[in-house]
Amino acid sequence: MVMNYNKLFSKQTLNMRSSIIREMLSSTKGIPGLISFAGGFPAPETFPKEDIAQIFADVIKNEGDDILQYGASEGDRLLKEQLRRVETDLEGLKDEEILVTVGSTNGIYLYAASLVNEGDVILAEAPSFLGSLLAFESMGADLVSIDMDDEGIIPEKMSEVAEQLKKEGKNIKFLYLIPDFQNPRGTTMSHKRRKEIIEVASEYNIPILEDNPYGPLRYAGEKVKSMYSIARYEMGNPDTVTMVKSFSKILGPGLRLAYIIGSEILIGKMCSWMQKVNVSPDCVAQRAVAEYLKRDLLMPHVETVRDFYRPRMNAMIDSMNKFMPDGLKWTKPDGGMFLWIELPEKINGDELFEKAKKFKIAFIPGSNFYPKGREKYNCMRLNFSYPTPEQIETGIERLAELIKSEM
């Protein structure tokens, strides 16, 4: 009696891609002295363990009857109250315009589930965050990327693509963007460009999903308003942009807490999906974070996080300037966790990854951030949030040696 599951799996399940990053990285484990620019993890030194421990104990002791019980699918009312108080993007929003989610990924999944049928088109930056691309593919979506310059995707190119897809009778369901400190490129879209993109999107009835996990991690330069805020408050357009923000990079991703804000009708549908997918996020974690905000601990903590990461970003930018040969291009991030290198055409990032082991360094080959079949290979993503400034300098020097040997 052996079950034949291969005859039973859904089409999406059989076509599902796993991230190959995990496998690549496990091949670097156990290399002594390896300096890794590969991960995307926040540094555990930034987790406010003592405060969080105390607050969890307090809320469970005092409010356990409530928060150990089933909670609302739309999320904890008290957390929303605190979010509105401390986050300018949320000022004046109704409860029905906010959904608390099990991390950003969950918010992105519920958004896509609300909109996408098999064969529908999702527009995206290329390169973009692999996790989202894989989730979209798993729903049978057709990923179409739009050409970019240093300010982000190009509005005229977006119009052209939308026009062309319309002619082909395709359904474009949304545009997925990471405007702040993009993953993997580390770049930030200008205010002007954001407005232009929102205009094109509105014209073609294409909603925008603004993924904003890194927003608070700005170490230099001026804050740019979120696309959500620009659309709602500057352009009088409260419907087009939906934004997902996370506590993962500032409190700890293990808590699995994020929130998504947008049009009431869309948030309502996502809430119905939440009911079926998870019932609700963890009610204890939601209330603990509400209490953390209530005690006014978040903003000072974010400052310490910025102070922790700033020297790392600077060390990477300085080392790049100091060691890298001519013929390379790289981005100059003002925040976030990543810097992106474009190599000369003939150098393949995947092959370089293998050779890098001898130089005791690791990074993510850029090909991993493109939709299937549309990969570029002469690129790589470097993370600067995990290694120390000293490791960063040493590692970039080694990487420069490796790249020179290939040129």
Rounded Cα gap, residues 339 and 93, in angstroms: 34
Counting beta carbons within 10 angstroms of the beta carbon of residue 214, is it exposed (0 to 12), middle (13 to 18) or buried (19 or more)?
buried
Which residues from 203-222 bind a second copy, rule CB under 8 A?
A: 205, 207
Nearer to a second copy, 100 or 224 (CB): 100
CB of 10 to a second copy, least distance (A): 5
Nearer to a second copy, 257 or 352 (CB): 257
Nearer to a second copy, 269 or 398 (CB): 269
Nearer to a second copy, 220 or 279 (CB): 279
Beta-bridge partners for 35: 361
Which residues from 51-110 bind a second copy, rule CB under 8 A?
A: 52-54, 56-58, 60-61, 64-71, 102-103, 105-106, 109
Report CA-CA distances (Å) from 76 to 67, 156, 289, 290.
9, 41, 10, 9
Nearer to a second copy, 274 or 396 (CB): 274
Nearer to a second copy, 178 or 356 (CB): 178
CA-nearest of 345, 347, 361, 336 to 405 is 347
CB 144, CB 128: distance < 8 Å: no
Name the token pair of 188: 């930030």
- The DSSP output letter for 324 is P
**How many amino acids of this chain bind a second copy (CB under 8 A)?**
88
Which residues from 152-191 bind a second copy, rule CB under 8 A?
A: 171, 173-174
Cβ neighbour number for residue 88 with a 10 Å cutoff:
11
Site string for a second copy, 233-272 (x = CB under 8 A): --xxx-xx-------x--xxxxxx------x-xx--x--x
Cis peptide before 184 (omega within 30 of 0): yes
CA-nearest of 264, 293, 247 to 79 is 293
CB of 382 to a second copy, least distance (A): 19
Which residues from 311-340 bind a second copy, rule CB under 8 A?
A: none
CB of 364 to a second copy, least distance (A): 15
Site string for a second copy, 338-357 (x = CB under 8 A): --------------------
370: left (phi over 0), alpha (psi -120 to 50) or beta: beta
Which residues from 18-37 bind a second copy, rule CB under 8 A?
A: 18-19
